[in-house]
Amino acid sequence: MSEKQGGSRKFLYLAVCTGNLVAFSAGIALGWSSPVLAKLTSADKLDDNPFERVISKEEESWIGSLLALGAIFGPFVAGFSADKIGRKKTLLIWCGIPFVISYLMLAFGNVVILYYIARFIAGFALGGVFTVLPNFISEIAEDEVRGAVCSSMNVFVVSGPLFSYVVGPYVPIMWFNVICAIWPAAFTVGFFLLVPESPYYLIAVNDSHGAAAALKRFRATGDTGIKKELEKIKTTVDESMRTKGSFVDIFKSRGLIKSFIISLSLVGFQQFSGINTVLFYSEQIFGAAESSIPPEISTMIVGAVQVAASFVTPLLVDRRGRKFLLLVSGVGMLISEIPLGLFFYLKDNEKNISAISWLPILCLIIYIITYNFGFGPLPWTVMAEIFPPNIKSPASTATASFCWLLGFLITKFFSSISAEIGMGGSFWLFSGFCLLAIIFVITYMIETKGRSFQEIQEILAK
């Protein structure tokens, strides 16, 4: 039978885009607090405040940070569920539906405690998305395009904050949240109706017929190619199942220990670059800068740049490799945060900064562009590539939870830290971690470009 009698790669891209609607919902949640908190903390906007009062600094910090706190716990449930009921059902039950519930609670809640609960639920779903979706996409993708389609998740994630920045300031809070709920609802319906389960999971539960049917839809090859790939998947899964792993098994193999160090380090440097602070408090940061450009407009510009920059990684990741893009990313973030810190240092010391009022937006544009070259999408892409299937679930769970624990701590205490060392000192602190990230990538990171799961494991074990 001709190799061209199979499906089309177009369906693979359709499946990835449908799945990424939940990544878009996660991105909206990341950017949600910037326009909403600007309203909830303003005495001039009480007509669009469900509490009919200005919230306190403590309430502001909890609403901003509870998303990350919920994301600590989401990976544990989603990671366990992905192996028990499948990647597809997990993304529907623990990600899509909770996002809908969260946004509807935010739309109709009129007490702070409901906002706390809703943001925690959204964080729970967010943690599940970053644990399960990269693995699902990597398992349905061909080796030749795996890096590009995995990186496409970041395009949807960063489009979410832009949506929040563009819509949030100009739409009443209630209707903004109703609109936000439409996206995870669309994901839930579309993903349920259109997208098959991961063939890796189907083989793991002895559903060879279902795995073959799924591959026929995901691949552009015919029956011969499907059979060959199915045998490869069976070999990989059988080997993994014979050595079915738990979290403690990560520390029994030199290769797995190295994988775990790489994964934790990449998400750690991602968080300590200050990204969640920028996303959650961008409008407040621009307000503090007292630029001639209105804060909401500056935030939109940064959000638009972030979306544009996110298209670069899928184009380059399978050409230039992961290490190169991570290095470019680390250097770019470093050189953007140093002058940003200097600006706020001068402002805090009452120097005349009117001549450089444009500097914060320029620095954050450079920061966002280079963040999206590497440390935005690639920690999740690499995480999906460097763990074998038998250990992927506990390793991904631990990595994602660690990431969001750091995100919660940084977001919750950013205001307190800035009060002690100044906003300038905070950005200098973030730049120091960017320098450490550059050193780590040069000295410890491996290249995974174009390599199969088996080849990557052999390199790590050396």
Tens digit of pLDDT for each residue in 47-92? 999 999 999 988 998 998 999 999 999 989 998 899 899 999 999 9
Residue 453 pLDDT class (50, 70, 90 cuts):
confident
Q: Closest Cα to residue 284, out of 64, 110, 111, 70?
A: 64
As to burial, measured by CB atoms within 10 angstroms (0-12 exposed, 13-18 middle, 19+ buried), residue 44 is exposed
Q: Is residue 177 part of a domain?
A: yes
**Residue 378 is encoded by which pair of tokens?**
């690639």
The answer to whether residue 15 scores a pLDDT higher than 50 is yes
Is 237 a member of any domain?
A: no
Residue 202: inside a domain: no
Q: Specify the CATH number for the domain of residue 17.
A: 1.20.1250.20
Distance from the first to the final alpha carbon of the chain:
41
Over 90: is that where the pLDDT of 145 sits?
Answer: no
Lowest model confidence (mean pLDDT) among 8-12, 94-98, 436-440: 8-12
Q: Do the domain assignments include residue 212?
A: no
Is the distance from CB of 360 to CB of 340 less than 8 angstroms? Answer: yes
Q: Which residue has the tokens 């999971």?
A: 201
What distances in angstroms separate CA 401 from CA 71, 123, 142, 406, one per listed residue? 7, 11, 28, 9
Tokens representing residue 214 in the block: 């799924």
Task: Tokens for 166, please give them.
Answer: 């563009």
C-alpha atoms less than 13 angstroms from C-alpha of 91 in its C-beta half-sphere = 33
Runs of H (alpha helix) within 322-388:
322-348, 359-373, 378-386
- Residue 254 near residue 390 (C-beta atoms within 8 A): no
| Long-range contacts formed by 223-228: CB under 8 A, 24+ apart | 223/1, 223/5, 223/6, 224/1, 224/3, 225/3, 225/6, 226/6
Does this model's pTM top 0.85?
Answer: no
> Per the structure, how many domains does the chain have?
1
- Smallest CA-to-CA distance from 283 within 262, 307, 303, 253 is with 303
In angstroms, rounded to a whole number, what is the distance separating the alpha carbons of residues 334 and 273?
9
Question: Tens digits of per-residue pLDDT, 231-279?
Answer: 999 988 887 777 677 889 889 888 889 999 999 999 999 999 988 777 7
Range of the domain at 42: 3-195+243-461
Report yes or no: 313 and 325 within 8 Å, Cβ to Cβ. yes
Helices 378-386, 312-320: axis angle to 10 degrees equals 40
- Alpha-carbon span 229 to 232, nearest angstrom: 5
Tell me if 86 is assigned to some domain.
Answer: yes
Residue 148 forms part of a structural domain: yes
In this structure, the chain runs to a length of 462
User: Is 227 part of any domain?
Assistant: no
Q: Considering the domain boundaries, does residue 217 fall inside one?
A: no
> What band does 4 get if pLDDT is binned at 50, 70 and 90?
very low
